């Protein structure tokens, strides 16, 4: 069985040991050492299993996992962490992890858990988000409007998925920014506006406007009939 694994781990010795060991077992492994690199790999490539450290520079593993699940990520995630209390395990599992392994651990146990996660039934069924003629496959990351493929960046993809999950709902700039970017919105950055503008262009190349701007309130995806 060919298994693609993303390892997000900042401790060099552990990462080197796992990458070497898993590759020797015939598995495909790629490594990201920090949270933002892990996020990029998560949202631009397809994986069978994700091995995720809790303590990471920048965005911690739990925040990364929460953001991944919020934007539709369904890949099985195994937490690797020294946090071994019951409360930490509960937080990790409730936060979206499929399994939890405390450091130090035996490599054979890790391997068995990886194989177990990879054998789970294909979760592609029910992983397509659709509103009207706009469709996003959360596994392949393919986005379409009226059958035409949309060439989106990773952030535009995450933004579109968030809109699709909240159709016809007034979404404030603060809410969108903090959910999609996982950062506090300072009210000064125009990052959101730029991404909305680019996403609009790509959507409107295949039909009428779908992202409505409500002055002073935020955005709505779809038709808004309120005042």
61-74: pLDDT as tens digits:
888 888 888 777 88
* CA gap 128, 92 in Å, rounded: 26
Residue 181, number of CB atoms within 10 A of its CB = 17
Region 4-118: CATH code: 3.40.50.2300
CATH 1.10.10.10 positions along the chain are: 128-221
Q: Which pTM was predicted? A: 0.58
Q: How far, in whole angstroms, is CA 37 from its chain's centroid?
A: 12
Tell me which residue of 205, 189, 197 sits closest to 159, measured CA to CA. Answer: 197
Is the pLDDT at 125 greater than 50? The verdict is: no
Q: What pLDDT is attached to residue 182? A: 64
Q: What pLDDT is attached to residue 122? A: 55
Is the pLDDT at 16 greater than 80? The verdict is: yes
* Mean pLDDT, rounded, of the chain: 85
Name, of 59-73, 118-132, 157-171, 199-213, the range with top average pLDDT.
Answer: 199-213
Look at the domain 128-221 and name its fold.
Arc Repressor Mutant, subunit A (1.10.10)
CATH 3.40.50.2300 positions along the chain are: 4-118
Residues 6+ apart with CB under 8 A from 130: 136, 164
Encoded tokens for 225: 């009939």
What's the N-to-C CA distance of the chain in angstroms?
56
Decide which of 199 and 89 is more confident.
199
């Amino acid at each position: 069985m060919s298994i693609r694994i993303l390892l997000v781990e900042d401790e060099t010795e552990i990462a080197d040991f796992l990458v070497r060991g898993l590759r020797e077992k015939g598995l495909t492994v790629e490594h990201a050492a920090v949270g933002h690199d892990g996020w990029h790999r998560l949202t631009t490539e397809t994986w069978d299993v994700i091995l995720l450290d809790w303590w990471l520079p920048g965005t911690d593993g739990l925040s990364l996992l929460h953001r991944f699940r919020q934007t539709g990520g369904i890949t099985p995630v195994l937490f690797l962490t020294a946090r071994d209390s019951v409360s930490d395990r509960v937080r990790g599992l409730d936060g979206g992890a499929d399994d939890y392994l405390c450091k130090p651990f035996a490599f054979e146990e890790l391997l068995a858990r990886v194989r177990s996660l990879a054998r789970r039934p294909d979760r592609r069924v029910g992983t397509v988000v659709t509103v009207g003629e706009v469709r996003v496959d959360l596994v392949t990351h393919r986005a379409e409007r009226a059958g035409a493929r949309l060439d989106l960046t990773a952030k535009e993809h995450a933004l579109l998925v968030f809109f699709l999950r909240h159709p016809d709902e007034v979404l404030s700039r603060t809410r969108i920014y903090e959910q999609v970017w996982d950062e506090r919105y300072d009210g000064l950055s125009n990052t959101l506006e730029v991404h909305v503008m680019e996403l609009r262009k790509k959507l409107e190349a295949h039909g009428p406007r779908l992202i409505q701007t409500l002055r002073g309130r935020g955005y709505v995806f779809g038709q808004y009939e309120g005042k």
